[in-house]
Amino acid sequence: MSQHPAERPELLVAYLESTSDIELVLGELSEDQLESRERPGEWSVRQIVHHLADNEVADAMRLRQMLAHDSPLIVPFDELLFTERLHYEREIESSVATFFALRASSGAILEQISDADWSRSGRHEEHDRYTVEILVQKNIEHDHAHMEQIRRALASAD
């Protein structure tokens, strides 16, 4: 999963550009569209947006911990508990702003780090090996997976 150092600029571009896909899809969604779900029991578009923001908060802190500390403990979060207890029925504007601000801030940090920093790691309960590079790769995959979920939810509402 580790990239050659020459490929890391492409990884960073993909990390930063995945936000433009999110921005494009969210655009000006109506309240009805925000409540769209791919299937009954699945997350609504609104809930997915809040999840993306909460994941960005967690990953922004994980990134900073791995860069600042030696082998910090990376604590997973219970996404279903977050959905239940963090009022995911609320407006999305603050979560959208949080997502974009943290991605820009983390991207600015990643633009400055050394090749060695990309290999800095933390101890994650759910992963054998968890480095800065893996965090960035997983974040890109996570964004794409949820954007596809949003597209399917919006398509099923049509």
Residue 5 is predicted with a pLDDT of 66
Token pair in block for residue 53 = 């923001």
For the entire predicted model, the pTM comes to: 0.93
Q: Which residues of the chain have pLDDT under 70?
A: 1-6
Q: DSSP 3-state assignment of 50?
A: helix
Burial of 24 (C-beta count, 10 Å sphere; 0-12/13-18/19+): exposed
Gap between the Cα atoms of 107 and 66, Å rounded: 15
Q: What pLDDT was estimated at residue 78?
A: 94
Q: For the chain, give every domain's residue range.
A: 5-157
> So what's the pLDDT on residue 21?
80
Say if CB 115 and CB 9 are below 8 A apart.
Answer: no
Are 118 and 52 within 8 A, CB to CB?
A: no
Query: Looking at residue 125, what is its pLDDT?
Result: 87
CA dist list (Å): 8 to 11, 96, 130, 136, 157? 5, 26, 16, 10, 38
- How much is the pLDDT for 6? 60
The pLDDT assigned to 20 comes to 85
Say what the pLDDT of residue 25 is. Answer: 82
Could you please state the CATH topology (level 3) that the domain comprising 5-157 is classified under.
Four Helix Bundle (Hemerythrin (Met), subunit A) (1.20.120)
